[in-house]
Chains A and B, each alone.
Chain A
């Protein structure tokens, strides 16, 4: 029964302390780094999740919308708990709980029963369906299944049920976000385009952004401009809902009628050129008005570009209040640049975030020394290189595409930096390298309220500068010799 591997029975042994010491030193060596970078198949500590997670985030951004996973129930629990931990908020979503027999018969019965039950219990205005691995491998036909569900009256005919194929063995969470978003918009805007109608509004897509503060900041900026807007896939209120003694399962999201009418918008800006290419490409071909896709407005230059684009699209002057805001952000930077100047950073994350981090660091005279993306592209690499080439502080900085956080560990222990910017998963590498980790990305499981502080816009610049510089000052206060411990910093 036991020992099916047919291994020789041995005595339980403890590893000698010298051996542990040797290996401990070895994993910090150049030699180890080379072996580590030679990996072909094993991925260790990846900085990306799978498509359905992004799809669920997107679905939560629409009014009354219930995210619905067609696939195994365990997947859904994983997505939900990830969002719960990051936002410290509910993340209601259902699954149709496919099991072994689904592999044989397909998942239509589960989908139909699931839709009927979910609609009866949670009374959604829209059900956004996306897939996990199982139906993708067996090739379920969602188009037919959902059509049949309506024909057989499991759900009302008029209930919008957009769906997206989000296989986990392809792309990352940002691609799932994109696929879900384009599907929702296609569904809601169908037949809503009216010749000659213009809502006069800006449609704004924030990209696969897990910071609720960013969504509030976009809205505030547009209010300063006095520009009417529809923020699409707006998770701002969904994942920052008030604690007032009641639980609202659908606490926020873009109004469905606004999303439907967005096709008649005056202009559309899709933020996040890597998280929204599919959506943007469809919008460009379909939506009225002007269309622009651009980077996340992180740092001064990218925020300026965003502000000027908004002004240009609506033929407006940049309001004095925003000019002042810009001035205050620059003031914060000039006042504190000495604490960041020349400091070396390792940064990792989704491509759109990386563009923002790198741009911001270079503006501060800091060096984004190691730039690591766990699922990058040639296009992203080129854009990052362009940013580095545009600044003397980019000299000697290196980009690592399709690498993971175990690679990052090798980088930061062999070629040290002063700090890392990333998400909670980088805390082990940061600890081993004895440097601080700035949690600007997703997910953040081990600090509170970070998602409430915007990173975009001029306010985002102030937030990042403050957090980073004060941490460096804290470290100085905590580690300096007594005789150098002083009142002023």
Chain B
């Protein structure tokens, strides 16, 4: 830890006062439950200052999703060459259809299946069970989409409640059709957030996928896998090209624009590079234990973190890679500096508040700081203690950290902290824009992107500037 960073006007006392003022509105029981989830950051501690991964308090308006959302939307959905069946009633699949922006290459319906497949449960399926229907639809999917490399079956709430045995059905049909059909028991009522869905999905990759394929070409010294990048707005394409530019051989991507067979053969790579730690640390640990593959967390948001990350990656390889890394840094840094020179004068000392999923509330802070901005509050929907440990050094000291905040809390914090920008999700966006506060959706990159890599920073900087300095904000207050 170098120097303790602070933000003018924010002290431990002011943050604690803000928290207690906010909590005052809660009934006793809810207040007791929420208290450990809000705290002032202790930058030097390097440890979590809040509790996390606990049940959401009923009725408070949380932004969280469910295990199914974590499985379908995050881990499985982005694998482009599989049919992903939302097994149960029609809604879950319909709501999560195309709404995460995990872009895919290929031909829709031929080699790429960014579509909505569902068993559309009716009353009779609840009463009599859906196993027979599942068997039929798996055959239909295989017949209509012969180039699909596999099928995932993602359980929605009723499937687990009525006691269907999807594991047995998928095993039988998988053998009959000779394609992988993966059961994923990710019912939305399991766990406390999307996070368990990530974990369950990682486990199903471990149990059903990994080791079932081998790369045709011999293994090389620079073989890596890109883990935990979901290709939001094209992030993978930007990150992968940078990794290739430094001489690495990206054998598979988990799971943005991902391919099932390459994921299945990942157990032969030399290093796993993980971006979203929260959603995929599980499989990195499995691959480390079982195949001895080391893994490295990295951060491709903003030139400072990219530089640090590239050098950390280079440390794992020989001089060939080290040299290429330095060449890449030397090539891109002047370009990055030009971007900073353009935008920083308009963004310097602007304040940003964040609430995102399980990674970006810490990983993007450096990119804002590259632009001269300060993060005055940050929190996650579904992070765990190890995420908050990693957050402490990234956030300025004494700023407010919030875990699974309610909309009420966020509004209170924004009211007091008066951020110039809020980065969060679609449910929060219009609340704050009505207040006249600039906002960017930081799950979906607000229909822009990519934000990863050097390519991404230019777009990120432009978008942040556009959001904060749009002349439309000056019109919010009527002159009469």
Measured CB to CB, the closest approach of chain B to A82, in angstroms, equals 6
Q: Are A2 and B64 in contact (CB under 8 A)?
A: no
B13 at the A interface (CB under 8 A): no
B180 partner, pick from A7, A27, A137, A172, beta carbons under 8 A:
A7
Q: Are B62 and A73 in contact (CB under 8 A)?
A: yes
In the complex, chain A residues whose CB is within 8 Å of the CB of B433 = 243
A88 at the B interface (CB under 8 A): yes
In the complex, chain B residues whose CB is within 8 Å of the CB of A169 = 88-89, 121-123, 125-126, 158
Complex CA distance for A99 and B158, rounded to whole angstroms: 13
- Tally chain B residues at the interface, Cβ within 8 Å: 112
In the complex, chain B residues whose CB is within 8 Å of the CB of A241 = 434
B326 at the A interface (CB under 8 A): no
Within 8 A of A (CB), among B64-105: 64-69, 85, 88-99
Q: Are A13 and B216 in contact (CB under 8 A)?
A: yes
Within 8 A of A (CB), among B348-370: none
Measured CB to CB, the closest approach of chain B to A94, in angstroms, equals 5
Measured CB to CB, the closest approach of chain B to A271, in angstroms, equals 25
Q: Are B212 and A2 in contact (CB under 8 A)?
A: yes
A12 partner, pick from B137, B140, B215, beta carbons under 8 A:
B215
Complex CA distance for A50 and B430, rounded to whole angstroms: 24
In the complex, chain B residues whose CB is within 8 Å of the CB of A121 = 25-26, 59-61, 406, 408
In the complex, chain A residues whose CB is within 8 Å of the CB of B189 = 72, 98-100, 102-103, 134
Name the residue of chain B whose CB is nearest to the CB of A85: B426
In the complex, chain A residues whose CB is within 8 Å of the CB of B137 = 41-42
Q: Which 8 interchain pairs have the tightest Cβ spacing?
A: A74-B66, A50-B91, A114-B59, A114-B58, A78-B95, A117-B59, A42-B137, A118-B59
A residues whose Cβ falls under 8 Å from a Cβ of B: 1-7, 9-13, 15, 19-20, 23-24, 27, 32, 35-36, 39-46, 48-50, 52-53, 68, 72-75, 77-82, 84-85, 88-100, 102-103, 110-111, 113-122, 132-134, 137-138, 167-170, 172, 241-248, 406, 409, 425, 428, 432, 445
Bitwise, B96-122 to A at CB < 8 A (1) or not (0) is: 111100000001111100011111111
Q: Are A113 and B290 in contact (CB under 8 A)?
A: no
In the complex, chain A residues whose CB is within 8 Å of the CB of B434 = 90, 241-248
B95 partner, pick from A79, A98, A100, beta carbons under 8 A:
A79
B208 at the A interface (CB under 8 A): yes
In the complex, chain A residues whose CB is within 8 Å of the CB of B178 = 7
> Max chain A CB contacts within 10 Å: which of B92, B95, B140, B211?
B95
Q: Are B65 and A5 in contact (CB under 8 A)?
A: no
Contact status of A409 and B158, CB under 8 A, knowing A7-B212, A12-B262, A244-B476: no
Q: Are A247 and B435 in contact (CB under 8 A)?
A: yes
Complex CA distance for A72 and B92, rounded to whole angstroms: 12
Complex CA distance for A248 and B430, rounded to whole angstroms: 11
B465 at the A interface (CB under 8 A): no
Complex CA distance for A428 and B108, rounded to whole angstroms: 8
Complex CA distance for A241 and B430, rounded to whole angstroms: 10
B residues whose Cβ falls under 8 Å from a Cβ of A: 25-27, 29-30, 55-69, 85, 88-99, 107-111, 115-123, 125-126, 133-134, 136-137, 140-141, 143-144, 146-147, 156-158, 161-162, 170-171, 174-175, 178, 180-182, 188-192, 194, 206-216, 261-262, 264-265, 290, 406-408, 411, 425-427, 429-436, 476-478
Contact status of A88 and B95, CB under 8 A, knowing A12-B265, A77-B63, A137-B158: no
| A-B CB contact pairs (8 Å), 30 listed | A5-B208, A5-B212, A6-B175, A11-B215, A20-B147, A43-B118, A44-B116, A46-B120, A49-B94, A50-B90, A68-B59, A73-B56, A73-B64, A75-B188, A78-B69, A78-B91, A81-B425, A95-B62, A97-B56, A111-B58, A113-B29, A113-B58, A116-B30, A117-B59, A117-B60, A121-B60, A132-B157, A133-B88, A134-B157, A134-B188
Complex CA distance for A122 and B156, rounded to whole angstroms: 30
Q: Are A5 and B111 in contact (CB under 8 A)?
A: no
Known: A99-B189, A114-B58, A169-B88. 11 other contacts (CB 8 A): A32-B144, A41-B140, A49-B90, A88-B430, A117-B57, A169-B89, A243-B434, A243-B476, A247-B434, A409-B109, A425-B116
Complex CA distance for A91 and B431, rounded to whole angstroms: 9
Complex CA distance for A68 and B147, rounded to whole angstroms: 43
Complex CA distance for A486 and B469, rounded to whole angstroms: 41
Complex CA distance for A42 and B148, rounded to whole angstroms: 15
In the complex, chain B residues whose CB is within 8 Å of the CB of A19 = 147
Complex CA distance for A79 and B65, rounded to whole angstroms: 11
Contact status of A40 and B60, CB under 8 A, knowing A11-B215, A117-B27: no
Q: Are B111 and A15 in contact (CB under 8 A)?
A: yes
Complex CA distance for A425 and B96, rounded to whole angstroms: 12
